[in-house]
A and B are shown apart, each in its own frame.
Chain A
């Protein structure tokens, strides 16, 4: 009987040591994981999750401080993928202000634009070009439709147009 106990103890000890060595030498760094989660997010940088962009949100998910269901543009698809990656449960999308996300791009009514630069500074992907006192415009191919340029505009000259 003592032989059996000793054998098991030795096996447990060696495998324990091996595992701890492996985990210290081959770390799945949280940075790696953040990158992978970030890769699954839609990169609209819309901040609807409450974080200032997709990467901060990814970091918060990995750190465990944010739930995986806060991304309206990604929708159920993104939730499913992130859940798969992190081994968490699939949950329904958090009821946010804007739940029916359709792919859209912002359009500036250039005749109304006063050239205040507010929207340009708000754009997370630098998709608005313009200078002080001059008309601004949006690079449609780069716009993610995040709506962050809408609130700062003092003359409400920006609207969203549905793509396709």
Chain B
């Protein structure tokens, strides 16, 4: 590991050359995982609101059947990954940052793997107009498979509103250990490129860059051969340097087009749409073959498994089943991580299911004990490797002091939490974890401010209302008094006497 100089081909600031550790899992072909006994499908496998289950317990579902749908807001539907019976809809441990469990649909598979009759396979997507093609993609439950799991259709719908120049397919996969996109490109290069064609049609674009890191020559060759076969000169293959984190969306845009995505902006601001290669392949599977997103390739690797391998598994298969495919745990297995070593999340049980976001299951052996952090010596190493040119040493200072204004000013919200600063810090300060917490605090504070503002508005409108009501009451009272004075005391006495006569029971009444 050493700080990488700015690469001549791209203009990415900082970054690190990390040991890849990828070859261990790419020696053999992708293993096809068998149908598990049980599938666990979380309702939230995407950014946005949870999908709502549309099946009941005891119901028999078929492979590819829609089992949870969106409510029209940001989200993606969920489909059954195999045929079987719904046995439960209940909280289940999942691998997410927030909370330990989430509502899941549990299917007991019958082993038949009977697929639902697809009613509307679009063979020739080119005859669909871009709008209906986007709607079609929405129904496939397709989300960004690079890890962000933003619903793809909604991302595309947002993108088409801006002037666009390029579609960029992200086959960079820069994080160590992970090799699922590499294997996908090697074995399913046609799917990837066809997906690119569909995406270009949906976005009305005529330029596509497929970016692949220089440490994946075999993927590059496979893509080149496939591109030769489909002969589409709108697609260009681009090799980018092997520097972590060149696979970050904004970083890749900068590498490929040499344009910087503005602070707080999106790649669409510089005319680019970035999609993961896996997403493109999934779109092809759905649009052309009618198969929704019900399976994915995932890497199972690390020193803690017997035979690191890539597995093509159904969404909802538990991690335990997948580890079993890789020969099981070794004796040294110590820590289970979903995702890569830099941005992944440690989990405490292998009962969690594989979800759409799961690109890697990493089983670590306890090699490097965490060193105790020492005080910051302000050496500036972190600033040199930061891919977005932030000043982590300053941010660290401000986050210790809880100085929100300064944190904003120094661009904490732009931090992509890549973890480069952690790695180079000679004092072993957990900078990224610190920044993550500072961001959460900032969000909380903003929430509180919004709440206070609302409460204040409601308080003021209420006071106004009370005031108006009081005035009205005063006016009515004054009017009554005025009438009383006009008709005179004698007339009032007569009225009272008449009223008493009518209801002799009400003796207590008095004026």
Contact = CB atoms under 8 A, between A and B. Distances in A.
A45 B455 contact: yes
Nearest to A38: B456
Nearest to A56: B463
Contacts of B451: 43, 144
Interface string A95-136: 000000000000000000000000000011111000000000
Contacts of A124: 459, 462
Contacts of A125: 455, 458-459, 462
Contacts of A152: none
A38 B460 CA distance: 12
Interface string B361-379: 0000000000000000000
A53 interface: yes
Given A42-B452, A43-B452, A43-B453, A127 B458 contact: yes
Contact of B458 (A38, A42, A55, A126): A126
B459 A142 contact: no
Interface in B449-475: 451-456, 458-463, 465
Nearest to B452: A43
Contacts, number: 36
Interface in A140-162: 142, 144
A53 B452 CA distance: 13
A67 interface: no
A43 B462 contact: no
Contacts of A45: 455, 459
Contacts of B453: 43
Contacts of A53: 459, 463
Interface string A4-40: 0000000000000000000000000000000000100
Nearest to A53: B459
Contacts of B462: 123-126
The 5 tightest CB contacts between A and B, nearest first, are A43-B452, A125-B458, A43-B455, A43-B456, A126-B462
10 contacts: A38-B456, A41-B452, A43-B451, A43-B453, A125-B462, A126-B458, A126-B462, A127-B458, A144-B451, A144-B455
